[in-house]
Every structure is written in structure tokens, then in C-alpha cells.
Amino acid sequence: MISDHTDDNVLSAEDCVTKPDAHHETNHHDTNQKEPGSCEPDSAKLRQIFAGARAIFLRDGYDGASMNDIARTAAVSKGTLYAYFDGKERLFEALVRSDRQRLAEQLCRFDDDQADVADVLRRFGTGLLTTMMQPEQLAFMRMVIGIVGKLPATGQAVNDAGPQYAADRLAAWLEIQNRNGTLNVPDPALAAHQFVELCKAGVFTRCILGAGPALAPGEIATGVEAAIDMFLHYYRRRAII
């Protein structure tokens, strides 16, 4: 039976869902349960659950993580945890979606009025690669790659909230450069993905697979500069022509 005890030092599950009646107290799949992420995304309780889940997934991996350990680490009751998420799959999906979106939003702050296109691309590319190469981010991406075959929704969630969000924002900025006559980018969506892949070249695959030497000092900056040179050599030339 799921305990309906809630720790005194955290919010009640009632902050997010209607308390189940006696008939449903032991049912983790209560039809009255809210969808994962349907609670206020910045609520203290949800952040608390995500922090505990993040620690356990990083420590034990997806297959080794348990809802019991997550509840214990998050300092919430099992009843509270299951009121938010009916199982590990839904929790992991919501966690990676939330984390990827938060990071993408931090990276994708484009100044439409900034005249120096290279500086904008440099800030974006450097921030992107620096974030992606952090050990915690690499660990989560390895977990996603390992489970996406059986949990395709998780892969879709990661792509939508992270890489696709970033590419869409970059594409919107490139479209503004088109209108300004700074660049000539026939397909901004494609060009955005091209720039991201240029920045990742020779770095991301090596790091995600743990192959080859560790990143050398300045390697990210060197790679981003090369990506900018190649990108602008093509799309600025088109604007001039």
C-alpha cells in the first residue's frame, strides 16, 4: 500500500491534485491523477521531486533507479510522488523535458538589434557546447540514448524541449538577419541545424561515447570559431552576391 503520509517539511500532494478517495488510495494509476508536468512547473514541490530524481538517475542509471529511492532522496512520501507521476517512465520523461527546456531557454537569448552577427553566433555556440559537454548533461544524454528504443516518447521530449527548441529560436533570429540584408539564408530552419552540427563537429560524438582524449583547453572556442567562419563564409557570400 502507498503511504499517504506527507513529510511535515514539504508541501502536501493536494498542492497539485485532488486527494484520491479511499477506493483509489492504493492505486498508482488513478484516473484522477494529473498528467506529468501539469502542475505548476516552478512549484517548490515539483522542483524538490526533480532534484531527488535527478540525483538517483545520475547515481543508479535509469534501470537501477527506483521510485522508493527517489521519494527518499527527494524527502517526500511515496503517496506524494505517485500523485505527481504514476511511474519512473513518466517521471524521467518530465525531468529531462524540464531540464532540457530550462537550459535551452538560457542559451537562446538572441538580441535582434545586435549588429555583430559573429558575436551572436559565438555566444550561442560557445554556450551550447559548454553546456552539452558538462558531465551531468552527457550522463543524461547517454541514459536517453540507452532507453529511447523502448521509451520513444522520452526521446521525443528531449528533442522537442532541447535541440529543436534551440534550432527554432536560432532559425527565427536568422530570418531577421535575412530581412536586414545581413545574411542570405534561403532555409533558416536547415541553416540553424547546420550551425549546431558544425559547432559539435569532432567534439560531441567523442565525448558522448567517451572515446579519445578529454577536451583540451580552448577546444570548444576553436571549434566554434571554425563553425562561424564556415557558416558566414557561405551565407554572407550569398547576401553580397
pLDDT of residue 193: 97
Identical fold for domains 13-86 and 97-240, yes or no, is: no
97-156 pLDDT, tens digit each: 888 888 888 888 877 666 699 999 999 999 999 999 999 999 999 999 999 998 998 999
34-72 pLDDT, tens digit each: 444 444 444 899 999 999 999 999 999 999 999 999 999
pLDDT of residue 113: 65
pLDDT of residue 105: 81
Q: Which residue has the higher pLDDT, 178 or 237?
A: 178
Domain-by-domain residue ranges, the chain? 13-86, 97-240
pLDDT of residue 96: 87
pLDDT of residue 3: 37
Which residues in 97-111 are b (16+ Cβ under 10 Å) and which e?
Answer: bbbbbebbeebbebe
Residue tagged 532541447 (cell numbers): 162
Mean pLDDT of 82-87: 94
Residue 7 is placed in which grid cell? Answer: 513529510
Read off the pLDDT band of 91 (50, 70, 90).
Answer: very high
The CATH superfamily label for domain 13-86 reads Homeodomain-like (1.10.10.60)
- This prediction has a pTM of 0.75
Q: How many angstroms separate the CA atoms of 36 and 96, rounded?
A: 12
| CATH architecture of the domain with residue range 97-240 | Orthogonal Bundle (1.10)
User: 8-12, 109-113, 159-163, 190-194: which has the minimum mean pLDDT?
Assistant: 8-12
pLDDT of residue 239: 58
Read off the pLDDT band of 173 (50, 70, 90).
Answer: very high
* DSSP codes, 124-160: HHHHHHHHHTSHHHHHHHHHHHHHTTT-HHHHHHHHH
Q: How many angstroms separate the CA atoms of 52 and 73, rounded?
A: 5
